[in-house]
Amino acid sequence: MQASCRAALQRRLYSTQNAFVPSASVGRGRFPRLAEQPKPTSPSFYTGQASYYDHIITLETARTLAQRALQSVHILPLSNELKEKLPNSFGGSFKKQEDFAEMLETNVRTGQYKRAAKLLSELNQLRTIAQVANHAEVYDRLSQVLKVYQKDNAMDLIAQVRNGSTVAGEPTKKKKSAFDEYGRSYACGKRKESAARVWVIPAQQNSSPSSETSSEVQTSSILVNNLPLATYFPVPADREKVTRPLKLVGVLGAYNVFALARGGGTSGQAEAVAH
């Protein structure tokens, strides 16, 4: 047994015909090396929509830098009183979803566009704060970032809104709901995810025959989706939202209101009817 083990150990268990060659010393002629792949220049290269996420990163970085710069000079955070005194920043000059997708050369979904639009709105508000606070560095930096996402005629639109005029030079007027010859009117309102179609009709005057002098009493009703107001909106706050416009102009009880509301919750539908 010991002799057989000694003979097995003395045997060569490796090949002596071909010498071992390290891989680092192998030439190109025998085993060519693979070409090195270039590293992605974008951190969102593997997301499938690198151009979109690159722009999102740019906007978020600009927002963070602007907030830090304004906080360092104690401009931010603003109190609620100062926020109310800020001038309105016109955000309608940015590209729409179709133009935004064309600029990025990729398909942009509605949720993705809303995310970008929210960032643009925040940057626009920070630019307004920097302008009021005379912080030229932050204002110029944000203006350069937002310039990429503005419409071609953005400056004309901003000037029109500030001057209250249209392209033709005529003053802008809010569209009013027209009344027909019978005093009826129709309008649409939207709030959040809710939408409502509303018909307003003058209430009929009923005379009370019981009294000696006939007195005329106006009776009106408010129906939402063919249900009384108190039935469809059991929460008093929602009912108050619907009747508040009528109370402000002093015509509560003078008109019948018929509304069709769709989408969203009861609070959103109540505000849509009020609009």
Q: Looking at residue 172, what is its pLDDT?
A: 47
* pLDDT for 271 beyond 80: yes
Higher pLDDT, residue 216 or 32: 32
- Examine the pLDDT at 124 and tell me if it is beyond 50: yes
200 neighbors 253 (Cβ within 8 angstroms): no
Q: Between 266 and 170, where is the model more confident?
A: 266
User: Which pLDDT does position 215 carry in this prediction?
Assistant: 45
Q: What is the residue-averaged pLDDT of the chain?
A: 79
pLDDT of residue 68: 94
Residue 213: pLDDT band with limits 50, 70, 90: very low
d(CA 45, CA 202): 62
Q: What is the pLDDT of residues 136-176, one digit of tens each?
A: 999 999 999 999 998 876 556 555 545 555 444 444 455 56
pLDDT at 26 over 70: no
Q: What is the pLDDT of residue 10?
A: 64
Q: What would the pLDDT profile of 52-66 be if each residue is shown by its tens digit?
A: 999 999 999 999 999
Percent of the chain at pLDDT above 70?
Answer: 70
Structural tokens at position 139: 């204002």
Supply the pLDDT for residue 122.
92
Which pTM was predicted? 0.50
Does residue 226 surpass a pLDDT of 80?
yes
Question: Phi and psi for 62 in degrees, rounded to 5?
Answer: -65, -40
Q: What is the pLDDT of residue 154?
A: 59
The sheet with strand 227-228 has its strands ordered as 185-191, 194-202, 255-262, 222-224, 227-228
Judge if the upstream peptide bond of residue 77 is cis by omega within 30 degrees of 0: yes
Residues facing residue 227 across a β-bridge: 224
| Percentage with pLDDT > 90 across the chain | 36
